[in-house]
Chains A and B, each alone.
Chain A
Amino acid sequence: MRRFRHTEEKLFRVLMFLSTNIIVISLGIIIFSILYKGLPSLTWEMVSQTPKGGFYFGKEGGILNAIIGSLYLAVASTVLALLIGLPVALMMNVHLIKYTKLVNGIRFLLDLLWGVPSIVYGAFGFTVMIYFGLKTSLLAGIITVTLFIIPIMVRAMDEVLKTIPRGLMETAMSLGSTSSEISYRVYLKQVIPGLVTAVLLSFGRAIGDAASVLFTTGYTDHIPTALGQPTATLPLAIFFQLSSPIPEVQNRAYASALVLTIIILATSILSRYFSKKYQKNRIKQ
């Protein structure tokens, strides 16, 4: 019996070790395979030109339209989401601090929203777009993606704001601050690193999601110059090129995937860097 106990523990420790490794190795394989297939096709031409004639048959051109389009879309919707999300997150943690139940209710709702698949936002965005007589456009995409990332951003910020000690609020109050002053002059400064992380997280979601923009932004070979124009995005560029039967075009899909992966990894590294750098004014507990 005693020996069995130990064998069992040993067995499970091996399994646990394996599981952990599977996860790490999976990530390794994903990044390696994208690099391996993408790197040979990744040329300067790819990232600096828009598609030329015959691009979709393997001729000249690049995916600059999709890169710029994705950046426009992601930056605009992140800014919009920040404009709505930051005040909500602050309100939940400063103005409504007395109403614990209400705030928990809002959190619950946000968690639910976070779980809604992006394709549902996409379908909804499309409906709204048709309802208002809009065509597939950058604007429609921005609105859809904004709705999609607001819950993510608010909850991420809320998690950070939650950790602020009550004492800081009491201190700020005892100096005669109004709730808005506590929000924007004290709390904001205290959690800047966490907020940057939350914003970058949402940015990553915005730039990487395909299902929400599938019906709303359309696709074009040009770089958009107005909100009303259709816009290409990286995820869709990858998706469309990969479904082509022509090997050159498929290879470009891998290169595009590499570009997107690099943007995502850069965002992630940036957020780590920021959260270390801006810690100086923070009051530690």
Chain B
Amino acid sequence: MLTLQKRKSKPKYKNFQSRDVVRFFKVKRHLRSKLHTTWMVIGLIVVILLPFILGVGLYIKSLLLLEDQSLFNLLFSSDWRPLAGKFGFLTFIISSVWVTIIALLIAGPICLLTAIHLTQYAKNWVLKVVHPVIDILAGIPSVIFGVWGILIIVPFISDYIAPFLGKQSSGYSILAGSIVLAVMIIPFILNILIEVFRTLPDELKESSLSLGATKWQTIKFVLVKKAFPGIISAFGLGVSRAFGETIAVLMVVGNVTTIPKGLFQPGYPLPALIANNYGEMLSIPLYDSALMLAALVLFVVVMLFNLGSRIAISRLEEKG
């Protein structure tokens, strides 16, 4: 019944929105739509240009030093005497590499084992506990990790680990920096690894099990093998994160400008160098330029690791 009435009443509503009203709203609507779109495009351009602006900005600032000395000399000399115009980054680069590698050696196996545990074995309630833990750990600011390092890790190294191995250490050392870093990058690597293991198709596991393999054999020979590129990428991303981490490492690593000879000796990674000296060096243009170059080196190294890992991951995802 109603439907029939509706037919008749339709013209009434057509009148209600007379042609002009419709046109007005149409214009207003599309104007609004256009404004939104313009704003979106502006935002998008900012985002797209950002990495290039970052890179170019740092490069321009480091040009001063690069024109003065060759890049090779700067990177492979350990002579760091800013006041004498000597800017050899080798000490800092070696420290950075040490800290990063050891952090990865600690975090890598823990993450891999935990990821397998969580995706293959763990019961639901374990996941319910561990997931928030990972989230919170990922959210803790690096300065807090630094405080924790000073409170727990540094004394632990100087009082227990070093004496146990018959060495002397103040605790502020490469090892302390690595342990703090390891805990910091664990949530980061772990999240990616969990994602990687989740994308593996169930059929893969099932077919291996149906061939009579035990669960562990399946994991070892099929899942880990299949996930291998993903695992490497996750580690690569972890490396890039560790390489650029500043405050937490700076607080526990000792910051002494000599090439570290062992785990228990202090080091002085690149980010710490920048953080410690910025602001003071403004009066010396070359010094300023040198620190910008350090930032550029960080940027490039991190970008390269990121690039490689991301490409590998997206390949993996495409393959399914």
Contacts and interface: CB of A to CB of B under 8 A. Distances in A.
Interface stretch (B1-9, B39-47, B73-81, B165-173): B39-47
Q: Is the interface of B mostly helix, strand, loop or mixed?
A: helix
B198 interface: no
Contacts of A239: 143, 146, 247, 251
B105 interface: no
A181 interface: yes
A26 B319 CA distance: 36
A115 B243 CA distance: 10
Given A109-B48, A112-B51, A267 B139 contact: yes
Contacts of A193: none
B36, B135, B145, B306 interface centre (most CB from chain A within 10 Å): B36
B151 interface: yes
Interface stretch (A7-15, A40-48, A52-60): A7-15
A180 B303 contact: no
Contact of B48 (A15, A106, A209, A214): A106
Given A239-B247, A268-B136, A108 B314 contact: yes
A123 B289 CA distance: 11
A111 interface: yes
A120 B54 contact: yes
Contacts of A20: 113-114, 117-118, 122, 126, 130
A116 B303 contact: yes
B110 A23 contact: yes
B36 A87 contact: yes
Given A127-B57, A151-B47, A214-B278, A112 B113 contact: no
- Chain A interface size, under 10 / 10 to 19 / 20 to 34 / 35 or more: 35 or more
A238 B50 contact: no
A22 interface: yes
A16 B306 CA distance: 27
B129 interface: yes
B298 A117 contact: yes
A175 to B, nearest CB: 13
Interface in A80-138: 84-85, 87-88, 90-91, 95, 104, 106, 108-113, 115-124, 126-128
B314 to A, nearest CB: 7
B207 interface: no
Interface in A175-211: 178-181, 183-184, 201, 204-205, 207-211
Given A16-B116, A95-B40, A117 B243 contact: yes
- Chain B interface size, under 10 / 10 to 19 / 20 to 34 / 35 or more: 35 or more
Contacts of A204: 139, 141
Contacts of A85: 43
Contact of A106 (B33, B47, B111, B306): B47
B32, B47, B302, B305 interface centre (most CB from chain A within 10 Å): B47
Contact of A87 (B33, B40, B141): B40
Contacts of A123: 58, 274, 278, 291-292, 295
A90 B40 CA distance: 8
A260 interface: yes
Contacts of B50: 113, 147, 150-151
B214 A9 contact: yes
B216 A238 contact: no
A77 to B, nearest CB: 14
Interface in B57-114: 57-58, 61, 109-111, 113-114
Given A16-B117, A108-B314, A110-B47, A118 B140 contact: no
Nearest to B301: A117
B241 interface: yes
B312 interface: no
Given A33-B152, A84-B46, A123-B58, A238 B278 contact: no
Interface in B273-320: 274-275, 278-279, 291-292, 295, 298-299, 302-303, 305-307, 310, 314
A226 to B, nearest CB: 22
A34 B146 CA distance: 11
A204 to B, nearest CB: 5
6 contacts: A117-B271, A117-B302, A124-B54, A208-B139, A209-B141, A210-B142
- In the A-B complex, the 3 residue pairs with the smallest Cβ-Cβ separation, listed nearest first, are A117-B244, A208-B141, A9-B216
Interface of B: 29-30, 32-33, 36-37, 39-41, 43-44, 46-48, 50-51, 54, 57-58, 61, 109-111, 113-114, 116-118, 121-122, 126, 129-130, 132-137, 139-148, 150-152, 183, 186-187, 190, 214-217, 237, 240-241, 243-247, 251, 271, 274-275, 278-279, 291-292, 295, 298-299, 302-303, 305-307, 310, 314
